[in-house]
Structure 1
Amino acid sequence: MMDVCNGTVISEFILSGFSGLDQRLQLFLCLLLLLMYLSTVMGNAAIIFLVCVDNRLQTPMYFFIGNLAFLEIWFASSTSTKLLVILSSGRRTISVGGCFAQSSFYFALGGAEFTLLVVMSFDRYVAICQPLRYAAIMKHRLCIRLVAAVWVTGFTFLSSRLVLLSKLTFCGLNKIEHFFCDNTPLFQLSCSDVTLLWKIDSVFILFIVLSSLCLTLASYTSIFLCILQMPAASGRKKAFATCSSHLTTLAIVYGSCIALYAHPSGHVSLETNRSVALLNTVLYPFLNPFIYSLRNKVVILALKEAMARGGCCQGL
Structure 2
Amino acid sequence: MLLLVTPSPPPTTPSVLPDIDKVTSQVAVTCQNDPVCSTIAGIFNNAAWAPLAAMLVVVVLILVLAFALRNVAHRVITRVVNRAATGGSITSRFRKGAATDSIDALLHERRKQRAETMGSVLKHIASIVILGTAVLTVLDRLTIPIAPLLTSVGILGVAIGFGAQELVKDFIAGMFMLLEDQYGVGDVIDAGPAVGTVEAVTLRVTRLRDVDGRVWYVRNGTITRVGNESQGWSRAFMDVPVAYDADVVSVKVLLEHVAEEIWADPELRESKIVEPPQVFGVEQLSDSSLVFRISAKTLPSAQAEVARELRLRVKTALDTAGIPMVATA
TM-score bracket relative to the smaller structure: under 0.3
Structure with the higher helix share, 1 or 2: 1
Structure with the higher strand share, 1 or 2: 2
TM-score (norm 2): 0.23
- Flag the structure with more relative contact order, 1 or 2, with Cα contacts below 8 A and sequence separation at least 6: 1
TM-score (norm 1): 0.24
